[in-house]
Amino acid sequence: MKILTLLISAFLICANLRSAHAADARSPVEVYVWGQQPTSAATEQTRWQRDLELRPSNTPSDVLRLTPGVIIGQHHGGGKADQILFRGFDSDHGTDFAVFIDGIPVNMVSHAHGQGYADMHWLIPETVDRVEIYKGPYFAHLGDFATSGAMNIITKRRDKDSTLTLTGGSYNTQRYVGIFAPPESTLLRPYIAGEVYYNDGPFKNPNNYIRYNILTKFGLLQSANSNLSFLGTFFKTNWDASGEVPARAVRSREIGRFGSFDPSEGGNSERQNLSLIYNYTDANQSFNAQTYISWYQLQLWSNFTLFLNDEVNGDGIEQRDKRFLAGNNINYRRNYSLWDLPMESFGGFQSRFDHIRVGLFNQTDRRRRETVKNNYIRQTNLGWFVQQEIRPTSWLRTQIGARMDNFWYNVDQIGAVAEPISGDGAATIVNPKLNFIFTPFSDNNVAKATNLFLNFGGGFHSNDARVFVQDPDKKSRVTGAANWALAHAYSNVWT
């Protein structure tokens, strides 16, 4: 109730600010014009805010579903990261599908539950401005986990109105969303959103799933060509789950479809992010630099095989992950002419540092019985990429690129465990990229909007540090891909 009271108070304050601003109708208004970079593949596309308005989204899963070819599954009370199946790939919880929110990586390396675990529940759908979608490993600026594809979700820098939304539904579903968006001329141009979500689910044992989210954005510096902004997010959740239900037990009526043999399953998680983003753009070039830090923790209780291995205590496990991560994203793009040929050079550097404590324990009713694994992990990933675009004719764009990623791993054992693991190592992987974009017709606007794409590239996902230090040959899984497509941009037909 305290949170609801705060949201209502923020809404009322915002309403007063908007009334004061409306009194001066002659105040100057800043106008922003947004353009879209020409695509490199038919599988590269952007979903804008209009798509979200036509397909209302109440959960982060709804935002993921904006990607054509994505199938989403949730099997653990609502709080676990979604299961992602994309273009024939079982990407598990993100192993082969990279996800970013405002440039901050969502996927977790060397995670307690699974490599590439991507928990998006710290996203508030109403704050999404656009979704950049990349299918295939053809893009030089995308590295680890971008095997089948990737998604970068960009949140709004501000909203036109402050709002308070209350939603309710079946299974005791409750959702409260408040957005505070004062006038553009307000000091630091704050944009603040909060969400509280609760759901019991259809099972006999309620999910008791509750989620808290806060997003804050501030504009620190602003000029005609550049801006410096601050982003901060807070996320916390906990839930119960009913777990596995054997079909034979349901058929024999030993248990109902919505019953449970182990209702102690469930979990809790939280994540906080801080980020500074600088952008500079003029007629010929653009420069972007970002630094971010995150704190994350997950405690997950599961029982996949019930009493198969231990008929007395059961096969329940606890997976524990607690980490601090930090990183940087820097890229530079420049357009120019060389020997009367239009050129574009694009390059950048990315870094990520993870300091992790990760463990696996046997448990009964959420009480630990035995430590199976318990490790400190320090993992570093540095990535460099370059791409050169050449336009030898008006109907052809050629992009030649490459990406190099370096990894350093260090794994330390904590205490006495059933399966000790320790060691260190390093690995390097290089992936080429080659794209051809043909515009064979130029008779009219309809013809000009038709392109033929040929794409070739390699992608990868890194392996868990605990796997690599035991077997250096398992440093990563590399995937090569080729794609051709004929695409037509309908939005350009009438321009």
Task: Report the predicted TM-score, pTM, of the whole model to 2 decimal places.
Answer: 0.87
Per-domain boundaries in the chain: 37-492
Q: What amino acid is encoded at 218 in this protein?
A: F
d(CA 134, CA 97): 10
Q: For 37-492, give the CATH class.
A: mainly beta
Q: Which residues, listed in sequence order, are joined to residue 232 by a DSSP beta bridge?
A: 216, 274
* CA separation, residue 464 to residues 132, 144, 314, 414, 422 (Å): 27, 12, 27, 17, 13
What pLDDT, in 10s, does the model give residues 444-464? Answer: 776 677 888 888 998 899 999
Note down pLDDT in tens along the chain; length 495 residues.
Answer: 444 444 444 444 444 444 444 444 455 555 555 555 566 666 788 888 777 777 777 888 888 888 888 888 877 777 889 888 887 778 888 899 999 999 999 999 999 999 999 999 999 999 999 999 998 899 999 999 998 889 999 999 888 889 999 999 999 999 999 999 998 888 889 999 999 999 998 989 999 999 999 999 999 998 889 999 999 999 999 999 988 888 899 999 999 989 988 989 999 999 999 999 999 999 899 999 999 999 999 999 999 998 999 999 999 999 999 999 999 999 999 999 998 899 999 999 999 999 999 999 999 999 999 999 999 999 999 999 999 999 998 889 999 999 999 999 999 999 999 999 999 999 999 999 999 988 877 777 766 778 888 889 988 999 999 999 998 776 666 565 666 565 545 443 332
Find all residues with CB under 8 Å of 227, minimum gap 6, and list them: 219, 221, 278, 279
Rounded to whole angstroms, the Cα distance separating 111 from 272 reads 17
The amino acid at residue 436 is F
How many Cα atoms are found within 13 Å in the side-chain-facing hemisphere of 130?
10
Pick the closest to residue 272 from 322, 319, 331 (CA basis): 322
Are 105 and 143 in contact by the 8 Å Cβ rule? The answer is: no
Structure-block tokens of residue 377: 């992990």
Give dist(CA 378, CA 425) in Å, integer: 11
Alpha helices (H) in 217-345, listed in sequence order: 247-251
Q: How far is CA 412 from the centre of its chain?
A: 29
For residues 486 and 42, give the distance between their C-alpha atoms in angstroms, rounded to a whole number: 7
